[in-house]
Structure 1
Amino acid sequence: MIGPFIRYLAYLPANLAFVLAAYVLSPLLAGLSLLTGPRLPGVLQWFSTLDANLDGGVAQGVAGYRAGLRGWRLWWQRTCWICRNPAHGWQSELLGMPSESSVIVRQRLSETPKNQWYVMETAKGVRFFCFKRDQPLFGGFYLKIWIGWVNKSYDGRNHHYAFQIGPRRA
């Protein structure tokens, strides 16, 4: 099981660089989207999500995302969407693990505290893992911790690399 951890740590610097670039470029990318539409052109879409366009928060019913916005408000909403899902395309396409014929070989779930641990294997026998924890904090907030590769494939092709630690509202 050491191999997947070493691979994960080896990818970490690239992941942090991609995420930082997504944050820095998010205002420019959102501005470009006002000219090109809600899906960024070509590889620029890798700075956002592959399974949704920049208006994905509206379609998914995410609190605070509204339909029908224009101008600065639309630009701000799209900037926020990129920052909410920074570099998911890079994390899937470059750092991800193929989902075709991958299987879960071990799974451990607990409710208190809410923990999820998965060990998965690609069709070629390469193992990878996913750890998720929702740590309750206060006032309806919790600390969301995702490390490894997400246990489900959002884009239908890859399990994307995950390094997400941050507060969320319950």
Structure 2
Amino acid sequence: MTGPILRYITYWPVNLVFVLLSYLLSPALAALSLLTGPRLPGILQWFSTLDADLDGGIGQGVKGYHADLTGWRLWWQRTCWICRNPAHGWQSRLLGMPASGTIIIEQQISEAPKNQWYVMETAKGRFFCFKRDQPLFGGFYLKIWLGWVNKAYDGQNHHYAFQIAPKRTKT
């Protein structure tokens, strides 16, 4: 298991650069999208999600995302979407593991608190996924995702994940 962990740690600085660039460029990328449409052109799409356009929150039913916005409000909503999903394209295409031929070697899931652990293998090698919902206080929990996401959202790659974020308790 040393190989995947070493690869994960090696990718972390590059991932951090892409995520920070996504945050910094999000206002300009959202402004460009007002001219080009909800899907960023070419490689710029890598600053957002590959499985949804910049209006993805609408189609996915994310609370607070609206279909009838224009102008500044649409620009802000798209800026927020990029910041909510920073660099997912880079994390999938550049840092990701191929989905084709993925075999789950090990899977452990517990419910209280919710933990998920996967070890998977492809022709490119072994990789892992760790997810935990750590209960906090006042209806919040800490969402922790490390490794490569066990689901290939774009159908091609398991994207690199480094996410530690507070969330409201699921209902």
TM-score by length of 1: 0.98
Provide the C-alpha distance between the structure 1 equivalents of 2:103 and 2:84, rounded to a whole number of angstroms.
28
- Seen in structure 2, the aligned counterparts of structure 1 residues 125 and 76 have a Cα distance that, compared at 3 Å, is closer
| Partner AA of 2:37 in structure 1 | G
Aligned-partner Cα distance in 2 for 1:94–1:125: 13
Q: Which moved more, 1:125-134 or 1:142-151?
A: 125-134
Encode CA deviations 1:96-151: one digit per residue, 9 max, x unaligned: 000001111000000011100000000x2610000000011122211000000000
Shift of 1:95: 0.1
Q: Matched residues in 2 for 1:125 and 1:25: separation?
A: 31
Q: Secondary structure at the match of 1:163?
A: strand
Query: Partner letter of residue 148 of structure 1?
Result: G
Equivalent runs, 1:84-163 vs 2, <5 Å = 84-122=84-122, 124=123, 126-163=125-162
Equivalence for 2:17: 17
The letter of the residue matching 1:88 is H
C-alpha distance in 2, partners of 1:84/1:125? 29
Counterpart code for 1:74: L
| Local SS of the residue matching 1:145 | strand
Cα RMSD, aligned residues only: 0.7
- 1:46 aligns with 46
- The reply to whether residue 32 of structure 1 matches residue 32 of structure 2 is yes
TM-score of the superposed pair, with normalisation by structure 2: 0.97
Any unmatched runs of 5+ in structure 1?
Answer: none
Cα 1:72–1:125, aligned 2, differ >3 Å: closer, same or farther? Answer: closer
Q: Which runs of 4+ in 1 moved over 4 A?
A: none
What amino acid is the match of 2:109?
L
Shift of 1:156: 0.2
Question: Where does structure 2 lack aligned partners over 5 or more consecutive residues?
Answer: none
In the aligned structure 2, how far is the partner of 1:139 from the partner of 1:69? 33
* Structure 1 residue 168, shift from structure 2 partner: 1.1
Identity score, percent: 76
In structure 1, what is the equivalent of residue 2 of structure 2? 2
* Aligned pairs (5 A) from 1:42-81: 42-81=42-81
Structure 2: how far apart are the matches of 1:82 and 1:133?
23
Deviation at 1:157, TM superposition (A): 0.2
Question: May I ask how many residue pairs the two structures share in their alignment?
Answer: 169
